[in-house]
Amino acid sequence: MTRAAAVHDHTQAHVEEMVADLDRLVRLETPSNRRDLLEAALPEIERYAVERLGAPAARVQHDGGSRGDVLDLTWAGSPGLVGTVLVLCHYDTVWPEGTVACWPLTRDGDVLTGPGVLDMKAGIVQAVWMLRALRELDVPHPSVRLLLTGDEEIGSVAGRPHIEAAAAESLVTLIPEPSAAGDVKVQRKGMVFADLTVRGVESHAGLDPDAGASAVHELAGLIPAVVALADRERGTTVNVGVVTGGSGRNVVAGVATCEVDVRVQDPDEARRVADALEALAVSDSRCTLEVVVDHNRPPMNPSPRTEEILELVRRTAADLGETVGTQAVGGASDGNFVAALGLPVIDGLGGIGAGPHARHEHITVSGLPRQTALMAGIVELLATEARG
């Protein structure tokens, strides 16, 4: 038996404080593309964590360049226990500055709505209260390393090297990203982005149409070939999400572009699609095609060690009188980077709710103690394993 039920009761008794903590974080507006706002918010997030947990045993802040910094905080484990559990959180959100003024954290019974409440500021609150509860209940636990990144929503260019380095030094990576209705996420699709740019020859569409070579027409001819690269049986989807081109109704278009989103479960599929995109060619020799491919995130698939830790998740859920399933989802997270290294990661341990990136984004208040206790139980069982 774990102390997960005791952690649940403890956090349930403090749930209003957890809600107040969440309100505090939601008020800190942290859009991914605003370095200034991220820079202002991160010290406040650190101050919150230190107020709840005391000063960490180790602290490192990594410069994010034009993106949000990465904050790496480690609190020591129980005496005699070795190893570290990494809790990976991002503090950036998709919501622009000014959103919280018209949409503050709002409670309606068991439901809390607000920008970033689910994705993923509830996860930060859970991580802090998980460790606080373990300490206050005197539950043995390894060291806990909280890694806060500021560019997850825009590709984790700044965060990725620090995520991979921290995960390699940890027993497991736990990610309190939004849950799948209370289930954990063990598979996520990888992401390949591609930008296609066709350049043609402009001319007057009425006076001299044959002198031009339309970039728009060329791109329109290429798009069906792009979409045809999808393979549903292998879990590969292709979406052309943005198309732009031309300068006027009566102008043969000189430039046209499209933005492509590819999701894959099989790493080989990422290479296949990328190779096919780079092999595309225009039919009109007067036009040129540029293809820029970004292998944004590898797919997340469970390692053998992940499968073993899933058994700890199930044992903890049983101690809570519940069951926790596993789900595969199309969205990606920073867990993709960890899994691609063959390291264990349990994702989707965060809030129970719906609507990430949407105006109906919300969590349930009752889900906060449950998810916090689930994380705590996993950490406790890892401590038991470490002691043999």
> For the residues 303-315, what does the mean pLDDT come to?
96
**Band of residue 386 on the pLDDT scale cut at 50, 70, 90:** low
Q: Which fold has domain 4-188+300-387?
A: Aminopeptidase (3.40.630)
Asked, colleague to colleague, whether 4-188+300-387 and 190-297 share their fold, the answer is no
Q: Which of 388, 369, 370, 378 is nearest to 314 (CA)?
A: 378
Residues in the chain: 388
Q: Which positions ≥6 away from 235 have C-beta within 8 Å?
A: 189, 263, 264, 265, 266, 269
- Encode pLDDT of 251-297 as tens digits: 999 999 999 999 999 999 999 999 999 999 999 999 999 999 999 99
Q: What pLDDT is stored for residue 387 in this prediction?
A: 65
- Tell me what pLDDT residue 384 has: 83
Q: 55-71: per-residue pLDDT in tens?
A: 999 999 999 999 999 99
Q: What is the pLDDT of residue 385?
A: 77
Nearest-5° Cα angle at 354, 350 to 356: 80
Pairing of strands 111-113, 106-108: antiparallel
Tens digits of residue pLDDT in 115-170: 999 999 999 999 999 999 999 999 999 999 999 999 999 999 999 999 999 999 99
Q: For 87-115, what is each residue's pLDDT tens digit?
A: 999 999 999 999 999 999 999 999 999 99
Task: Please provide the CATH number assigned to the domain covering 190-297.
Answer: 3.30.70.360
**How far does the chain reach from its first CA to its final CA, in angstroms?**
15
- Report the mean per-residue pLDDT for the chain: 97
Residue-range domain boundaries for the chain: 4-188+300-387, 190-297
Percent pLDDT > 70 in the chain is 99
Residue 371 has pLDDT above 60, yes or no: yes
**Whether residue 1 has pLDDT greater than 90:** no
- According to the 3-state scheme, what is the secondary structure of 293-336? EEEEECCECCCHHHHHHHHHHHHHHHHCCCCCCEEEECCCCCHH
Q: Which one has a higher pLDDT value, 73 or 331?
A: 73
User: Given a cut of 80, is residue 347 above it in pLDDT?
Assistant: yes
Give pLDDT, residue 37: 98
The closest alpha carbon to 339, from 120, 187, 136, 205, belongs to 187
**Structure letter (DSSP) for residue 129:** H
